[in-house]
A = this chain, B = another copy of it.
Amino acid sequence: MYTYRCIVTKRDTRAYLPRPIEGVVMRRILQAGRIAGSSKDSQPCRLVVLRDAQWRAEIATCGRFAKHLPSAAVGIAICLPPTGSDFDAGRAAQNMMLAAWNEGITSCPISMHDQPCVTGKLGLPEGWRVCVVVALGYQDPSVPLGAGRKRPPLEEYVHEERW
């Protein structure tokens, strides 16, 4: 898909086909995260890929809105060290979600509200946290993508020179 089309058609959705993601495609998605730029080239993020559905159901108990994690094809936990920034995690996440959407795979980031729960289960090193878990799966074509809440018009979204 062309880049601009991929960017503007990407929606965060939670209805997935029961179809696994092929190894070569998964590798492309992970590489997209790995190559993402970061503040001072610090490369803070590390990933934990959650493939087992039962394991994902257990991880889902650590978030308040995580019901779609078990029904996804896979989850990717984006983990940050104490000094890592959510901004850099957002860049890596968007790279992966666009690389996925480019292959017809939709996605939705999930907050893990109970950090001791998720960091304990995943066995993260002391001080690390899970910024989000990204749920990924092939888009179910029977469920419309939806437009989401209306965006503010460009003239309201953008200020010129000053607020």
Enumerate chain A interface residues (CB-CB to B < 8 A).
1-4, 6-8, 10-12, 27-28, 30-37, 39, 41, 43, 45-52, 55, 79, 85-91, 93-95, 97-99, 101-102, 108-109, 111, 121-125, 131-132, 148-149, 151-152, 154, 157-163
Whether A159 pairs with B48 at a CB distance below 8 angstroms is yes
Whether B109 pairs with A39 at a CB distance below 8 angstroms is yes
Q: Looking at the assembled complex, report how far the CB atom of A68 sits from the nearest CB atom of chain B, in whole angstroms.
A: 14
Complex Cα gap A95–B93 (Å):
11
Whether A37 pairs with B12 at a CB distance below 8 angstroms is yes
Contacts of A27 in B (CB 8 A): 154
Contacts of A51 in B (CB 8 A): 160-161
Q: Looking at the assembled complex, report how far the CB atom of A32 sits from the nearest CB atom of chain B, in whole angstroms.
A: 5
Whether B30 pairs with A102 at a CB distance below 8 angstroms is no
Chain A interface, DSSP helix/strand/loop, else mixed? mixed
Name which residue of chain B comes closest to A162, CB basis: B123
Contacts of A98 in B (CB 8 A): 3, 7, 95, 98
Complex Cα gap A43–B6 (Å):
19
Whether B39 pairs with A111 at a CB distance below 8 angstroms is yes
Whether B161 pairs with A50 at a CB distance below 8 angstroms is yes
